[in-house]
Amino acid sequence: MLQRRELENYLFDIEIMKLYFDQIDGQAYDSLVQDISTQDLKIGRLRQKLMHLTNFRGGLEQFMQELAGHITKDTQIYRELKACNFG
């Protein structure tokens, strides 16, 4: 069982966002995301706003695939997902 609301809450974690785009505006991110574990990121255009913080110009699905590629064994997000799924 996931510890966070849904998979998007792992993809859009600041750790992964910074790995994708290291110049992300942390204050802008914090103004959009109050609680990455429980916040519904599918409300309104929140995911698109987060995507624009990285200057990504493709579609949302493509962006999420790009972010997923940054969830590697050396990230906290990977370890958290592994613990959720494999104990």
Q: What does the pLDDT average to over 40-68?
A: 95
For residue 2, tell me if it sits in a domain. Answer: no
Contacts of 35 (CB under 8 A, 6+ apart): none
* Domain extent for 58: 8-86
User: What's the chain's average pLDDT?
Assistant: 95
pLDDT digits 0-9 by tens, 4-37: 999 999 999 999 999 999 999 999 999 999 999 9
Domains held by the chain: number:
1
In a domain, 54, yes or no: yes
Is 46 inside any structural domain? Answer: yes
Residue type at 85 in one-letter notation: N
Integer CA distances (angstroms), 47 to 3, 40, 50, in order: 20, 10, 5
In a domain, 1, yes or no: no
